[in-house]
Chain A
Amino acid sequence: MRLTRPKPLGLGLGLRNVHFGHILSEWPAVDWFEAISENFMDSGGYPRHVLNRVAERYPIMLHGVSMSIGSTDPLNLPYLRQLKRLADEIKPAGISDHLCWTGVLGLNSHDLLPLPLTEESLAHVTRRVRQVQDILERPLILENPSAYVHFAHSTIAEPDFLRRLSDETGCLLLLDVNNVYVTCFNMGTDPLAYLDAFPCERVVQMHIAGHQHCGTHIVDTHDRPVRADVWELYRIARARTGDVSTLLEWDGNIPPFAECHAEVRKANQAIVADRPDPAPDSGVSNPVDFMVPQVMDSTVLANA
């Protein structure tokens, strides 16, 4: 695998349908956009029209949620071919997905489910990353997911798992510092120790996002501003990764574009306004944007 590292793109935002109108009319000065691959790969309608137009003006990263790289089902080849076709058309700066599995027996939970981190899993995922990279003809970028459970027989720490995976396959890494924070809090481990062990030299992109603190644990909701502790972790991580593309994920209660844009720009100075969470323990893990188009807004009833 030829090692092509995507160039740093600056500060980006997720391409979200509630912002489509604003983006196409204002062409805001955001550095780049991340598009959820699955929201566009089958689309022949308005979402795809928007992505095509946005891709003419901004760098794009394709971020997937259904590759299921860790599943023990066979790789979904039609999916990968469709992803490749989308990439051939959009020409993204990179293609990422998560170190996770989404289902077995042909099902898709539409969640990013954690893997037990064992030698067996590492060998399995290593094989599959190689296959995927052969099909996509580029290095895959893999992200650390947020987690709520610990598998009893895991034997490898996540940073080590990703380091070895990256060494073996040449894949690149997306370091989600909010996920580091969430997972480490929920596991009762130290996020700084996680960063110390993480192969920061392999990181080409970072994610930041807001989460819901429920007291006993944290749920990765992506529905509010980034918290102070996560900005601090970002600052520390960024010192180790060097200049890499940074993306704010905001997937629930999405505010107007300008507010998202202002939030991601805080990455430049790590200015922080931390707020208490109103309703503890109601959080639903929302690790990615499962965009549902606003069909009702684009239909009319004509006269007979």
Chain B
Amino acid sequence: MTGLRDIQMWMQDALRFLADAESGRFLAATARLSASAGLAIYQRSYFQRIVSCMREQFPALCHALGPSLFDDFVAEYIRDMPPESHTLYDLGRRFAGYLDQTRPDKDAPEVWIDFMIDLAHYERQLFVLFDAPGQEGQRFATADTPDSALRLQACFALGAYRFPVAEYYHAVRAKSAPALPPATPSHVAMVRTAFLTHTMPLTETHYLFLSTLRDGHDADHAIATVARDVGIPPNDVRRSWHSPGGMRQRWIDAGFFIEHHG
């Protein structure tokens, strides 16, 4: 007698590895479909559904690789890291890491693979920010908020990449068919306000400042860190933080901060 567990283990493997050996042991032909033809519908649907979701989660990477190479990467990814979550939103969570771990050019790194990995990280971050709990409907910091009460808002992330991936992504969005960009370090802040995610290019110094805040320190600490690590007099950093139109005002206007009480 064949148990339910055995059948489910067999059928799941048949979907994942496209095998139909033993289908005759578990399945009977119907009046319309042979056992393997019926199974093939599930096999095709499993793969196509995941591929189409991954294409939607990584549209710029799909553009960069071309759909067929992209699909090949996805096929390898889900074979090695099959979906585990109840939600398809989780599908792309491990993709950038997977590309990094399994890169075929380990001995002689190729620059385009670095680009693919960074682009995948950026797209995943955008995807996460799209649906993460945010500050919509709550109070943001204003010019009057004291430094001690400034906190980065919940829907905020920083990114440091080896390529201008945000520009590339938005060029794909604008359907301008961008070419693979040359390697140039890029730093960005990503923030969601009114359900729109903004990517703001940052200088390396601004990135360092915001990283210090993100790690839970206050503005004074960030000023001291930047002064020490970049070699700028602390008063100059302080001035550029506080000056009209300076970092503080621009980032408050961009919705980076909420006002923390207590």
* A300 CA / B41 CA spacing, docked (Å): 39
Separation in Å of the B93 CB from the closest CB of chain A?
12
Q: For window 33-64 of chain A, which residues contact chain B by CB distance below 8 Å? A: 38-39, 41-49
Separation in Å of the B120 CB from the closest CB of chain A?
14
Separation in Å of the A281 CB from the closest CB of chain B?
10
* A159 CA / B74 CA spacing, docked (Å): 38
Interfacial chain B residues near A284, Cβ < 8 Å? 44-45, 48-49
Which residue numbers of A lie inside 8 Å of B, CB to CB? 38-39, 41-49, 66, 70-72, 76, 79, 101, 103-111, 113, 115-116, 118, 120-121, 124, 148-153, 185-189, 216-217, 219, 284-286, 290, 292-296, 298-304
B1-41 vs A, Cβ < 8 Å mask (1 yes, 0 no): 11111011101100110000000011111111101011101
Cβ contact within 8 Å between A44 and B131: yes
- A68 and chain B: residue at smallest CB distance: B86
Q: For window 69-103 of chain B, which residues contact chain A by CB distance below 8 Å? A: 82-89
Interfacial chain B residues near A150, Cβ < 8 Å? 27-30, 38
- B37 and chain A: residue at smallest CB distance: A217
Interfacial chain A residues near B166, Cβ < 8 Å? 301
Cβ contact within 8 Å between B26 and A151: yes
Q: Is the interface of B mostly helix, strand, loop or mixed?
A: helix
Cβ contact within 8 Å between A46 and B131: yes
Interfacial chain A residues near B133, Cβ < 8 Å? 44-45
Interfacial chain A residues near B48, Cβ < 8 Å? 284
Q: Which of B28, B37, B49, B170 contacts A290 (CB 8 A)?
A: B49
* A79 CA / B87 CA spacing, docked (Å): 10
Cβ contact within 8 Å between A108 and B83: yes
Most chain-A Cβ atoms within 10 A of its Cβ — which of B1, B12, B132?
B12
Interfacial chain A residues near B83, Cβ < 8 Å? 107-110
Q: Which of B12, B38, B49, B87 contacts A148 (CB 8 A)?
A: B38
Interfacial chain A residues near B195, Cβ < 8 Å? 45-46, 49, 298
B192-205 vs A, Cβ < 8 Å mask (1 yes, 0 no): 10011111111100
* A284 CA / B29 CA spacing, docked (Å): 20
Cβ contact within 8 Å between A152 and B28: yes
Cβ contact within 8 Å between A107 and B82: yes
- Please tell me which stretch of B51-59, B138-146, B229-237 contacts chain A, meaning at least 4 of its Cβ atoms lie within 8 angstroms of it: B51-59
Question: Can you report 29 residue pairs joining A to B where beta carbons are below 8 Å apart?
Answer: A38-B86, A38-B88, A45-B132, A45-B195, A49-B195, A66-B87, A72-B8, A103-B12, A104-B9, A107-B84, A108-B86, A110-B83, A111-B42, A111-B45, A111-B46, A115-B4, A148-B39, A149-B27, A149-B39, A186-B30, A216-B32, A217-B41, A284-B45, A292-B88, A295-B126, A298-B195, A300-B196, A302-B200, A303-B201
Cβ contact within 8 Å between B197 and A300: yes
Report, as a range, how many residues of chain B touch the other chain.
35 or more
A110-B46, A113-B11, A150-B28 are known contacts. Are A104 and B5 too (CB-CB below 8 A)?
yes
Cβ contact within 8 Å between B42 and A300: no
A292-B53, A298-B197 are known contacts. Are A285 and B11 too (CB-CB below 8 A)?
no
Cβ contact within 8 Å between A45 and B130: yes
A66-B87, A107-B84, A149-B38 are known contacts. Are A299 and B9 too (CB-CB below 8 A)?
no
Separation in Å of the B154 CB from the closest CB of chain A?
8
- B28 and chain A: residue at smallest CB distance: A152
Q: Which of B46, B86, B173 contacts A79 (CB 8 A)?
A: B86
Interfacial chain A residues near B4, Cβ < 8 Å? 70, 72, 115-116, 118, 120-121, 124
- B200 and chain A: residue at smallest CB distance: A302
Separation in Å of the A186 CB from the closest CB of chain B?
5
Separation in Å of the B37 CB from the closest CB of chain A?
7
Cβ contact within 8 Å between B3 and A188: no
Question: Is B110's beta carbon under 8 Å from chain A?
Answer: no
- B131 and chain A: residue at smallest CB distance: A45
* A234 CA / B2 CA spacing, docked (Å): 36
* A45 CA / B82 CA spacing, docked (Å): 26
Interfacial chain B residues near A41, Cβ < 8 Å? 86-87
Separation in Å of the A274 CB from the closest CB of chain B?
20
Interfacial chain A residues near B59, Cβ < 8 Å? 296
Cβ contact within 8 Å between B84 and A108: yes
Interfacial chain B residues near A301, Cβ < 8 Å? 166-167, 169-170, 198-199, 201
A116-B4, A188-B30, A219-B41 are known contacts. Are A44 and B254 too (CB-CB below 8 A)?
no
Interfacial chain B residues near A115, Cβ < 8 Å? 4
Cβ contact within 8 Å between B26 and A152: yes
* A302 CA / B33 CA spacing, docked (Å): 55
Cβ contact within 8 Å between B88 and A43: no
Interfacial chain A residues near B5, Cβ < 8 Å? 72, 104
Interfacial chain A residues near B29, Cβ < 8 Å? 150
A292-B56, A296-B173 are known contacts. Are A216 and B33 too (CB-CB below 8 A)?
yes
Question: Is B134's beta carbon under 8 Å from chain A?
Answer: yes
Interfacial chain A residues near B26, Cβ < 8 Å? 116, 151-152
* A92 CA / B50 CA spacing, docked (Å): 29
